[in-house]
Structures are given as structure tokens and as C-alpha cells.
Structure 1
Amino acid sequence: MGSRMLSYSGGDDSHFLEACSLCSKSLGHNSDIFMYRGDNPFCSQECRQEQIEIDDAKEKKWRVSLKKSMETKKKSPKSNVQTGTLLVA
């Protein structure tokens, strides 16, 4: 009977360490596996580093987008209150 890994949710996760998360290269049973963010296996330091750089670029883009969104909100009026005179007959 082969060993099976269980994920934190209790489901079958038997394919967890079979392939590189970036290039999908098969991970050998006797080769080094490079991990990133806890559960992402990579076949080499280069693949892991490339994923780190991809994630860093996405985070930077997200931060710039968030900053622009916050600046736009600061420029817009805080409320939709209208002032004026109301005449009732």
C-alpha cells in the first residue's frame, strides 16, 4: 500500500509533490524540492525565484492600483448633500 498525503481540509492530495508549480517538470523522488509559501514545490531554485518575482510584480501592481483608488476617493466629495432653497406653496 503506497503512502498518501492528506491536505489540511482532509481531502486526498496525493499529487502534491509530483510536479514543479511553475514549469510542471516532474519532481523525482530522490531529487531536491524547493518550496515556496508553504505548499508550492519547485524543481529548481531558478523556478522558485521566477515565481517569487512574478508574485512580487503582482503585489506591486496591486499596491499601485490600491494607492490610485484611495487617491481617487480622497478627491471625490464625502457626501451627496445638496444645498439650496426649497419653496413650498
Structure 2
Amino acid sequence: MTRPELERASNLLKEAAEATDGETQQQLYEQSDQLAKLATRDQGPDHGRLARHMTVLHDLAEALDGDVAETVREARQEVLEYRKDVPGV
């Protein structure tokens, strides 16, 4: 089962990573990789896991500017959209 919102978020973060360098690039690639794995896992992520990703993405977007920051915000929005349908909380 693929989770399209998480897959889109992963792709957006990969795009953002390619437009940066250094530690920020590594963090973006790491988030992209983790979301790609969550998008295809048998069991979907819980609210807590998604919240941690959203916090990291918020912090990254605040540290960036321009189109890259907007791309990270868009990825965060995709995670939020997916999280709305996660049971619990």
C-alpha cells in the first residue's frame, strides 16, 4: 500500500535537498528517505512519528528561505494532510 501524501512529501524534500548543501542537505535527504519508507511500509506511521517529522520540517523551513523553504513547507503540508486521516488522538 502506498501512501501518496507521504510519497509526495518525500519527493518534495528530495527536490529541496538538491537545491541546498551541507548539513541542511543531509537533513532534507534523511527526512525524504524516512518518509519514502513510511509511504510504502505495511503499517502506517502513528501520530507521534508524524508529529516528529512535522517539527523537523517546520524547523528546516524556518532556517531556509525562498523557493527551498516553500518546498519544505509544501512537504510538511502533505504530511499534515496524511496525518488528518490517521486514527487515534
Please state which band the TM-score falls in when normalised by the shorter chain: under 0.3
Structure holding more strand per residue: 1
Structure holding more helix per residue: 2
- The structure, 1 or 2, with the larger RCO (C-alpha pairs under 8 Å, 6+ apart) is 2
What is the TM-score normalised by the length of structure 1?
0.27
Which of these two proteins has the greater Rg computed from alpha carbons? 1
